[in-house]
Amino acid sequence: MNSLTRRQFLSLTGGAGAAVALGACGASPTAPGAIGPQASVVAAVDARRYRNGLTKALALTAAPLTVDLAGRQVPTWAYATELATPEIRVTKGTELAVTLRNALPEPTTVHWHGIAIRNNADGVPGLTQKAVKPGAEYLYRFDTPNPGTYFFHPHVGLQLDRGLYAPLVIEDPNEAGGDVDQVIVLDDWLDGINGQTPDKALAALKASGGMMNRGSDSQSSGMNAMGGMSDSSAPTNAAGTAMSSMTSGALGGDAGDIAYPMYLLNGRPPADRPTINAAVGAKVRLRVINAGSDTAFRVAVEGHRLTVTHTDGWPVQPVTVDSFIIGMGERYDVELVARSGAWPLYAQAEGKTGHASAVLRTNDTSATSPRDVPPGGLGGQLLAYSALQPTEPARLAPRQPDRAYTVTLDGSMSGYRWSLGGDADRLDPRQGQRVRITLANRTMMWHPIHLHGHTFALPGYGGTRKDTVNILPGRQVAIDIDTDNPGQWMLHCHNVYHQGTGMMTTFSYRT
């Protein structure tokens, strides 16, 4: 099965998945006994969170803006004209009081990705709050007890695939840290390029089965629009560029559905790549965030090895590699020791054509900028999940699961539909349990699965703590959750086009 393309898979299944309900509502959050965001137990848990007594108040405006991408003026929606900003950075334990002002023409929210947050601040419309209407404001007030690298984005429709994202760093005053602490936000970009929008891209993906009907092969023709293969009919993909094969061995097959026209690092394309300055010998901490919607990135820095110290905000036992792949919603903190010179930092769009980049430059050198070419390390030793081990404080205590669920990742390429099945509509834990969810990917594509409000452990990977895990085609991964944060929480694919067509459900605490 693994060698089949999605096109072949589709012709074998005949699009049977179309009969599967979207499951968008999941375990109904309005069911009897569901613990809602305003429940007293939510407040009781919140009252026990670590605080340092400080509050940081700020305003965040989501608005239509024009951004400059290497001299090209591009209309989009964003929080600031400089993409991937504002960076919010606080000391562990600081209370954040962020007022969201919605200047967009449609409702929005902010989701604080990866943070074990109070449920009513999680930013999921219809589940933890009402969507914030155009012209309205909403105050997000929450604590930051767990240090790490996080980010924030809307949880409405496909808004994440516009410019609505920025980093949130919670610093640990007891951590040694680096001499240089640099956030690297990666993104795949189509919004405003030749009239593209994420909504148009999704419409093209949904419609492509019919539009590209090629007679007897009609069931599978939709695959062409989703980048599974190339053929002589040279279809165009949703981003309007000529499609080529987008496959990755490391991702187990199809790398994504959309060939983006551009990839950005800290909001800038390669033609305007940013520079990171460091002293020779400085310890540089890179906090890498994938804010993309349909693209994994493979990251390396020429002339340097990378020591992975954290994933999804939580510490791991340091492991040194040449490169790593980061899926949508994942974060890796890596350290390097800067060597004299000017070096390309390169984020290849995995399985796709294109990259984002930056320059690491030491302050002793007047070297001209290095050529923007792939570092040798891109093809070197690649980080595997199996190489990750949590630090002792990050480990969950040994315990047998009280509840076990299986959630299947399903899809039908007929009409472009993705879904979660199995126990997806029955995720009804109680507070104080150890819950195991086995995520079984029955599709022909990888999926980065994200759980809100918790950092789960991966029992199959040494107990490493994460909140977003890539699951390859035909594989299954178990996640262990200590149910210590009552409320209603999304479990979903962080490919926004998959999430937007049904690959989501609710992890729904019950009394």
Rank residues 7 and 494 by Cβ distance to Cu ion and give the closer one: 494
Scan residues 127-186 and list those touching Cu ion (CB under 5 A): none
> 365: Cβ–Cβ under 8 A, 6 or more apart, which residues?
340, 341, 342
Shortest spacing between CB 412 and Cu ion, in angstroms: 13
Per CB under 5 A, which region of 111-119, 267-275, 395-403, 491-499 contacts Cu ion? 491-499
Question: Is residue 493 part of the contact set for Cu ion (CB under 5 A)?
Answer: yes
Shortest spacing between CB 493 and Cu ion, in angstroms: 3
Dihedral sign computed on CA atoms, order 309, 310, 315, 316? negative
Whether 349 and 422 have beta carbons less than 8 Å apart is answered as no
Rank residues 293 and 362 by Cβ distance to Cu ion and give the closer one: 293
Rank residues 138 and 416 by Cβ distance to Cu ion and give the closer one: 416
Rank residues 414 and 495 by Cβ distance to Cu ion and give the closer one: 495
CA distance 447 to 253: 11
Rank residues 9 and 509 by Cβ distance to Cu ion and give the closer one: 9
Rank residues 196 and 495 by Cβ distance to Cu ion and give the closer one: 495
Shortest spacing between CB 153 and Cu ion, in angstroms: 16
Number of shown-chain residues binding Cu ion (CB under 5 A): 4
Choose which of 94, 197, 290, 495 interacts with Cu ion (CB under 5 A).
495
Rank residues 293 and 495 by Cβ distance to Cu ion and give the closer one: 495
In three state form, how does the secondary structure of 247-296 look? EECCCCEECCCCCCCEEEECCECHHHCCEEEECCCCEEEEEEEECCCCCC
CA distance 297 to 245: 17
Scan residues 431-490 and list those touching Cu ion (CB under 5 A): 447
In three state form, how does the secondary structure of 25-94 look? CCCCCCCCCECCCCCHHHHHHHHCCCCCCCEEEEEEEEEEEEEEECCEEEEEEECCCCCCCCCEEEECCC
Shortest spacing between CB 407 and Cu ion, in angstroms: 13
Q: In what order do the strands lie in the sheet with 137-142?
A: 72-78, 55-69, 95-102, 137-142
> 182: Cβ–Cβ under 8 A, 6 or more apart, which residues?
276, 284, 285, 286, 287
Beta-carbon neighbour count of residue 3 at 10 Å? 6
CA distance 259 to 238: 8
Question: Is residue 417 part of the contact set for Cu ion (CB under 5 A)?
Answer: no
Per CB under 5 A, which region of 246-254, 256-264, 390-398, 493-501 contacts Cu ion? 493-501
Task: Estimate to the nearest angstrom the gap between the alpha carbon of 362 and the chain centroid.
Answer: 31
Whether 27 and 112 have beta carbons less than 8 Å apart is answered as no
DSSP helix/strand/coil, 433: coil
The string over 183-207, giving b where at least 16 C-beta atoms fall within 10 Å of a residue's C-beta and e elsewhere, is bbbbbbbbbbbeebbbebbbebbbe
Rank residues 277 and 438 by Cβ distance to Cu ion and give the closer one: 438
Shortest spacing between CB 249 and Cu ion, in angstroms: 18
Shortest spacing between CB 498 and Cu ion, in angstroms: 3
Question: Is residue 74 part of the contact set for Cu ion (CB under 5 A)?
Answer: no
CA distance 173 to 144: 13
Question: Is residue 498 part of the contact set for Cu ion (CB under 5 A)?
Answer: yes
Task: Estimate to the nearest angstrom the gap between the alpha carbon of 429 and the chain centroid.
Answer: 25
Shortest spacing between CB 250 and Cu ion, in angstroms: 16
Shortest spacing between CB 497 and Cu ion, in angstroms: 8
Interaction mask 218-257, Cu ion, x per CB under 5 A? ----------------------------------------
Shortest spacing between CB 303 and Cu ion, in angstroms: 35
Rank residues 60 and 226 by Cβ distance to Cu ion and give the closer one: 226
Shortest spacing between CB 312 and Cu ion, in angstroms: 17
Rank residues 208 and 495 by Cβ distance to Cu ion and give the closer one: 495
Q: Is the peptide bond before 75 cis (omega within 30 degrees of 0)?
A: no
Shortest spacing between CB 246 and Cu ion, in angstroms: 14
Rank residues 436 and 498 by Cβ distance to Cu ion and give the closer one: 498
Question: Is residue 492 part of the contact set for Cu ion (CB under 5 A)?
Answer: no
Contact residues toward Cu ion (CB under 5 A) are: 447, 493, 495, 498
